[in-house]
Chain A
Amino acid sequence: MDDALILRGARRCSAGKFLAWLAPWAALLGVGGFAILQCLVRGLNQTNMDNRFAFGLWIFLDLTVIALGAGAFFTGFLLYILRREELRAVINSAVVIGFICYSGAILVLMVDVGQPLRAWFTFWHPNVHSMLTEVTFCITCYLTVLAIEYLPILLKNRQLRKIPSFLVFEFELHKVMPVFAAVGAFLSFFHQGSLGGLYGVLRGRPFAFREGISIWPSTFFLFIVSAVATGPAFVLLTTWLVSKLSGKRLVKPEVFELLGRISGWLLVFYVGLKSLDTLVWLNRTAPGVGANPGQFFAAQPFGIWMLFVEIVLFGAAPALIFLSRRGRAGTGWLLAASFLACAGVATNRLVMTIQTLVVPTLKFEPYALYWPSWQEVATFLAVIAYGVILYSLSFRYLRLFPQERELQRG
């Protein structure tokens, strides 16, 4: 029915089947939309956030999707700046995922603030000392860059490329893509870091506070490294997932192997840096302000076991798998390692967002826990649903995987 829109030579399921695939996600989007409306109309009392947990599920979601969406800028950096041509096979998919992640994050941020209509104040009265100002500026700029990177993919749609001016525009744009990739990498580098900096500068929270270099706490660098380390793993994971769901081979195995190797080395670097940072934090930084490191891990489930899980199970283990030839040879191993790596970055963001607030700062206040309300969960799921829908549409009508036709023929 919509064959005219589908890539020439590519096989896609029937329109009816596609709609059946989209329907439940659309329903989820609807429920989430309702939850968002409730929050916007009735106020943030619809969530379970409170004065102890000023940041909750949504901030965790924001940090995690932005970290995972780092695959977009990093793949672009590797392809256009470092000239790793194999990654051309996945760059389009990475850009779409990046776009989804960042637009989803901004959507959730708009619901998370108490006064969404005042979102422009950060641009109007910026505070140069605040990490969050930097984050806001860079995320907004980067989303623009991602939109610009998405545009040529969109314009290459079968029907759209029939329009000559689009074709020309797309061609010209393609010539300057390295510039955008460089700009994107630069912006991304900074806001990934600033997101880490958000927590590292909190002098009032010994659990989160870190020393660092000049104005940048160590979490600035740790967030960048963890994002670039897991970005490729996430691209790997999503590509495999799409391949599985669509029943097609989309990339050659060498691509996965390369992504795994890059991720592996970066993960090793990250685990080393993180372990060093943890030791410094627990033995010097926190005791330096009088905090007792034992107090950080006193409330379950945020015990010391979580630290080990984050660094060892979700950090060192996938790194070793990625770096071993046998690990890279089997798709199963690669997937497991990718999953563990992504889980690691999610755990790290969870710990920074939630555990920071679990730990009391005053001796006479209790440890506290937090569970999100259904409105928060529904919004979270709506973002996922939005991502799935947008990606599905992109996959169906756009050439996300250049190697697909070749692999189909072969």
Chain B
Amino acid sequence: MKTNLTRRDILRFAGGAAAGVMLSPAPWRLTDDLAIWTQNWSWIPVPPRGEPSVRMTACSLCPAGCAVKARCIGALPVSLHAVAVDTVSGGALCPLGLTGHHLPYHPSRLSAPARIVHKDGTRRTLPVQIDGLLAEVARAIAMAAASGQAVAALDMRPGRSVSWVWRRFLASRPGGVVVPAPGRAGASLTTVKAMVPEQTGAFGLDFEGARAVLSFGAPLADGWGTPGRAARLLGRGSGKVHLVQVEPVRSATTERADRWLPARPGTEALLALGLGHVLLAEGLVGAQAAGRARDLAEYAALVSALSPEAAAAATGVPAEAITATARELARGGPALVIAGEDAGGGRLGRVAETAVWGLGLLLGGGTRPGGLVPRAELPEPGQDGPLAPLRELHELADRSVAVLFLDTSAGDAAFPWALVERKLVARGALVVALSPFLAGTAVRADLVVPTAPFLEGVQELPTPFDAPAATFAVATPLLQPRAGAVDPIAFIRAVGGASGAKWVGPWGTSEDVVKARAARIHRGGRGRLVAFADGAVTRTAEVSSPDAFWTVLQAGACWQDERLAAVQEKEFSLLGGVGGALADRAANANTATRADARWPLTLVPRGLRDVTASAAVSPVLTKLYRESGLRRSPAAALVNPETARALALRAGGNAVLETANGAVRLTVATDAGVMPGVVEVSVGPDASALGDREAAGAAGVLDICGGGEGETWGGSAARLAED
């Protein structure tokens, strides 16, 4: 027997082992794994690790305040989902909400206060210390007081507790005034409020009770109210509401509408009066409505000349459509007529809004189910005291504001900056913005204070403008706040302190003041809490303490008030104080169509709320813009192919769009859904969603819009020529 191992034995063993290994899966698996290893380069992003959990909050990126379920990994939110509970929004999120968790990491996020130097159309950002900033603001306020100039706050998200604190703070400043964002969704409701002066509280819109809706420019399917509510409204089976949409360009709403009335921009008042004419002529006005209308005779006289044919000639809407619409509205059950705002184009203007709301009042006789419904207001956070007045921007005198605060801490809005600029004093005006991002309106400011973005700071969701009853929710933060973020209440307090004023209340932060409001709601004892997690309903009266109430809200819930009885009691005015203007329009109806040879086109800027309500949007929104062309780029001027031919413009070619306010360079695109004679331009998201070529042009169109009645900018006279 051989007892010693030779080299040959070892070699034989090694050879056999090698052959054996080759027959095993090992080398093949190792080779396969090479494929995975080549995947793991260091520059490939790695998703987070951690325990999965679910947390509830609300989306505060626009006033709709949809409930949100956040899927978190290791306490960091990785996706946001809609929650199908009975809130006004119910079961839907828009692209902005679906990507809200990206915003805290947005590249334009501010981490320290900054000074912006505007020079020759360029912008430079310089760092500034918060103390120096406060001192500068205090000095400016003092100088304003000394020279009798105003201190104003432009509130992009009015109705919050913070909004109320602005009013309390500025009440102590001479000339202090708070201005809600121009063109915000629901702004036109102030017009109808003025037409029913004896009605206290606010108006909501009872879409659910309506059988027919006539919308003048309210983009219902494009995120005007809340996405889920509109979807339910337009999608209800046999009980689906009959929608008539008035708009000059085709949109998702006109596609879903049962009838589209393409009225020329600026002729909405004439269309509304024309519909009123048919109602009166065919005796379709109910006795109740007739009884409560104070100025029915005047109204009748005004609309007498606006036969369907005359209205058709003036507006471009066929006479049969006008007649048919009026009949449908009168006979089909409760009809709700609304004057809308476009997220990029703003309001129709007080005159047109009066005609539109007037038509609705004529059909319904005031507040009633399926129409305008009265709504209690939310209590304010603190005791009553002096409040700075609320004024619309166009109501301020030109060159009167020396210090302007832009509160974009809870959201932004799209409007021509020129409208604000003319209210600022010619020299020495100071504009201070509170914003999480160096984007949107905040870039117009001289000083910017960084605030916490969505998911990092407590935000409040007061009643959305269209809700039929008051609601209240809190957007609970899911992320730790970053160093450098300044709380808006702390800022206001510090500014007050620096300018030697006594602080208006016990609150130090936003959370304090929102909590105080919640406590007052709880004390009112009305309504109920609906929890997002499971839809559990708790009556307010059954919640033992304000702290318990706050805990439920923080865990993700919405407080809903009881509906007020929509009793048709109050008298109303059909002409709302602008009878003279309406009469002028009616009288000049036949000249409304004559276009100015110098400015043959009407520029209609259009926006979508999910990109104008926030200064910054997730970069993932490129999926809708650059990567698919689904949404129009802000660098494109859309015209009807006929218009393009008439102006010798080539699709894809460069052109200059000019108005009396300036010019911008755009690319021509043709779209048969745009009315001939109209040029539609998108008001887009911030530049991160756009390509480099387009980003340069993105700021464009609103800069040249304006000059409409009551500072509207939805239809400017323009011309388009090849570049």
Chain A residues in the interface with B (C-beta under 8 A): 115, 117-118, 121, 124
Contact = CB atoms under 8 A, between A and B. Distances in A.
Contacts of A117: 38
Contacts of B38: 115, 117-118
7 contacts: A115-B38, A117-B38, A118-B35, A118-B38, A121-B35, A124-B31, A124-B32
A50 B31 CA distance: 31
Nearest to A121: B35
A118 B38 CA distance: 9
Nearest to B627: A51
Contacts of B31: 124
A124 B38 CA distance: 15
Contacts of A118: 35, 38
Interface residues of B, number: 4
Looking at B32, B35, B38, the one whose CB has the most chain A CB atoms below 10 A away is B35
B105 to A, nearest CB: 24
A30 B38 CA distance: 29
Nearest to A115: B38
Nearest to A124: B31
Contacts of A124: 31-32
Interface string B20-36: 00000000000110010
Contacts of B32: 124
Chain A to chain B: the 6 pairs with minimum beta-carbon distance, closest first: A117-B38, A124-B31, A118-B35, A118-B38, A121-B35, A124-B32
Nearest to B31: A124
Prevailing SS type, chain A contact patch: helix
Interface in B438-459: none
A117 B40 CA distance: 13
Contacts of A115: 38
B641 to A, nearest CB: 15
A185 to B, nearest CB: 33
A122 to B, nearest CB: 12
A140 to B, nearest CB: 18
A118 B35 CA distance: 8
A121 B32 CA distance: 9
A115 B34 CA distance: 13
Interface string B30-59: 011001001000000000000000000000
A173 B31 CA distance: 35
A172 to B, nearest CB: 31
A124 B31 CA distance: 9
A224 B31 CA distance: 36
Contacts of A121: 35
A121 B35 CA distance: 9
A124 B30 CA distance: 12
Interface in B451-476: none
A275 to B, nearest CB: 38
A115 B38 CA distance: 10
Nearest to A51: B627
Contacts of B35: 118, 121
B16 to A, nearest CB: 26
Interface string B314-329: 0000000000000000
A115 B41 CA distance: 13
A121 B38 CA distance: 12
Nearest to B38: A117
A117 B32 CA distance: 13
A42 to B, nearest CB: 13
A364 to B, nearest CB: 12
B567 to A, nearest CB: 52
B610 to A, nearest CB: 24
A146 to B, nearest CB: 28
A117 B36 CA distance: 12
Nearest to A117: B38
B467 to A, nearest CB: 38
Nearest to B32: A124
A367 to B, nearest CB: 14
A121 B31 CA distance: 10
B707 to A, nearest CB: 38
A124 B32 CA distance: 9
A159 B288 CA distance: 115
A117 B41 CA distance: 13
A124 B33 CA distance: 12
A175 B35 CA distance: 43
A101 B399 CA distance: 76
B193 to A, nearest CB: 45
A45 to B, nearest CB: 13
A43 to B, nearest CB: 12
A289 to B, nearest CB: 27
A115 B44 CA distance: 15
A117 B34 CA distance: 10
A224 B35 CA distance: 35
A124 B35 CA distance: 11
A117 B31 CA distance: 13
A324 B219 CA distance: 75
A124 to B, nearest CB: 7
A390 to B, nearest CB: 32
A393 to B, nearest CB: 36
A276 B38 CA distance: 49
A121 B39 CA distance: 14
A124 B34 CA distance: 12
A402 B35 CA distance: 49
A115 B35 CA distance: 11
A50 to B, nearest CB: 11
A236 B32 CA distance: 47
B319 to A, nearest CB: 35
B632 to A, nearest CB: 16
A124 B27 CA distance: 12
Nearest to B28: A124
A121 B36 CA distance: 12
A158 B514 CA distance: 95
A366 to B, nearest CB: 10
